[in-house]
């Protein structure tokens, strides 16, 4: 069973949300603020934001969400990726995420593994992008 595509409502929520991680603050189609303040030992030009909460845009119990998020963090640490803890928020709703210095293909693989509909791509001086996927 594949990842179902995000509904138009979910897409609008993602597009309107504010994304914060470490010193970085951005919205979709905006140039991220604070990218120049990122310190890391690798020369990645691109970063991605990914979560493990509420796969497919469907609410899950907090205990389940916390466990999956912890598994994602362990996987990032085991692979040696540089990452920052962050939050995606809209109105009074928040969801934790990680901003990761990782090759795009690996980022997509992680997001699919944790059944996420989308990731946010960031580069210094370029507009943040939202990438969706999924099958009916």
pLDDT of 74: 97
| Residue in 47, 25, 44 with CA at minimum distance from that of residue 34 | 25
Q: Where do the domains of the chain lie?
A: 8-132
* Alpha helices per DSSP H over the chain: 8-16, 62-79, 104-113
Q: Backbone dihedral region of 55: left (phi > 0), alpha (psi from -120 to 50 degrees) or beta?
A: beta
For the chain, residues with pLDDT lower than 50 are 1, 135-136
pLDDT of 6: 67
Dist CA 41 CA 23 (whole Å): 16
Enter the pTM of the model: 0.86
């Amino acid at each position: 069973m594949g990842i179902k595509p995000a509904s138009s409502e979910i897409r609008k929520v993602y597009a309107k949300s504010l994304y914060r991680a470490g010193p970085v603050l951005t919205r979709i189609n905006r140039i991220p603020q604070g990218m120049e303040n990122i310190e890391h030992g690798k020369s990645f030009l691109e970063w991605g934001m990914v979560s493990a909460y509420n796969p497919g845009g469907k609410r899950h119990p907090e205990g389940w969400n916390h466990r999956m998020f912890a598994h994602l963090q362990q996987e990032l640490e085991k692979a040696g990726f540089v990452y920052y803890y962050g939050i995606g928020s809209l109105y009074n709703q928040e969801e934790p995420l990680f901003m990761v210095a990782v090759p795009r293909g690996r980022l997509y693989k992680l997001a699919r593994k944790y059944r996420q509909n989308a990731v946010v791509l960031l580069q210094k001086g370029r507009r943040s992008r939202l990438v969706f996927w999924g099958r009916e």
